[in-house]
């Protein structure tokens, strides 16, 4: 912790956050605790979603039950600690792989949502965007009396449902053109938009240290920034409750719970007056 505090105290820290930061808010990860390479389940691939009407029905039926988990989630101590460090001027930017918007709910700005946000919906035909809350209302209206119970909740508000419940679910279309709707997030097998990646690289160039919190760095979309940081001789600090694919190249690795560790870091670096000012 002393070495972590020393690095962060120097400022210009870029945060890269992953799903592990949100588990303490009740949002599950696709990987079990301390099992960085083992998926609990495989998310739907973009190719399947685009090509299959039944796949889209399955996705939206499951998401319809899972969305309230995301929309009701509150930022936890880890999110608030990151916000405090950011407002104190020690963290210069936040790149998140999460799609839950909890960094913003905790009051952080300058957040780059690498994989998008679940609260936004986009039409695959005309590109019109809308709010996920509005879609939830439309799905409620299209499925009066539809009742199903999830057998398990996965990450990103996805749940597992019996097939018979999926088959009876009615999916609504774009109100502008009648095209298929998709959450405005990067699906499995889909590329992060190039301009978003370039912006993230520019943030990394301006940073002195890359601090990874709550990510196993299993997927390339996040791990690429660790690779770039190492190439630029910038220290990489990892705080995660389990192994990551970049442990061998990290300048410092802490295996610990995020909320407690980040709160302790704030206690070491930020005065009580600042903590009261930046909850």
Residues annotated as catalytic are 115
Q: Which two tokens stand for residue 189?
A: 């097998």
- N-terminal to C-terminal alpha carbon distance within the chain: 22
Surface-to-core class of residue 136, CB atoms within 10 Å of its CB (0-12 exposed, 13-18 middle, 19+ buried): middle
* Residue 182: closest CA among 135, 112, 113: 135
Give the span between the Cα atoms of 98 and 270, in whole angstroms. Answer: 26
Dihedral of the alpha carbons of 29, 116, 200, 110, in degrees to the nearest 10: -100
Dihedral of the alpha carbons of 141, 121, 221, 203, in degrees to the nearest 10: -140
């Amino acid at each position: 912790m002393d070495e972590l505090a020393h690095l962060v105290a120097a400022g210009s820290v870029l945060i890269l956050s992953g799903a592990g930061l949100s588990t303490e808010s009740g949002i599950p990860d696709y990987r079990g605790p301390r099992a960085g390479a083992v998926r609990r389940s495989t998310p739907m691939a973009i190719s399947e979603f685009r090509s299959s009407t039944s796949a889209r029905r399955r996705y939206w039926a499951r998401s319809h039950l899972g969305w309230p988990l995301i929309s009701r989630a509150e930022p936890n101590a880890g999110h608030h600690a990151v916000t405090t460090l950011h407002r104190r001027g020690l963290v210069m930017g936040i790149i998140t792989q999460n799609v839950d918007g909890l960094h913003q709910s905790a009051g952080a700005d300058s957040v780059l949502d690498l994989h998008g946000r679940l609260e936004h919906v986009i039409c695959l035909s005309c590109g019109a965007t809308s709010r996920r809350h509005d879609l939830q209302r439309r799905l409620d209206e299209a499925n009066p009396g539809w009742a199903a119970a999830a057998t398990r909740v996965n990450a990103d508000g996805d749940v597992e449902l019996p097939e018979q419940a999926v088959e009876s679910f009615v999916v609504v279309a774009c109100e502008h053109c009648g095209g298929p709707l998709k959450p405005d997030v990067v699906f499995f097998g889909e590329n992060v938009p190039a301009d978003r990646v370039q912006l993230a690289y520019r943030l990394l160039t301006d940073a002195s240290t890359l601090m990874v919190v709550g990510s196993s760095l299993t997927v390339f979309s996040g791990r690429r920034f660790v690779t770039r940081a190492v190439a630029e001789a910038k220290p990489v600090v990892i705080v995660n409750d389990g192994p990551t694919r970049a442990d061998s190249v990290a300048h410092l690795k802490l295996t610990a719970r995020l909320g407690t560790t980040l709160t302790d870091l704030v206690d070491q670096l930020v005065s009580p007056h600042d903590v009261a000012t930046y909850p």
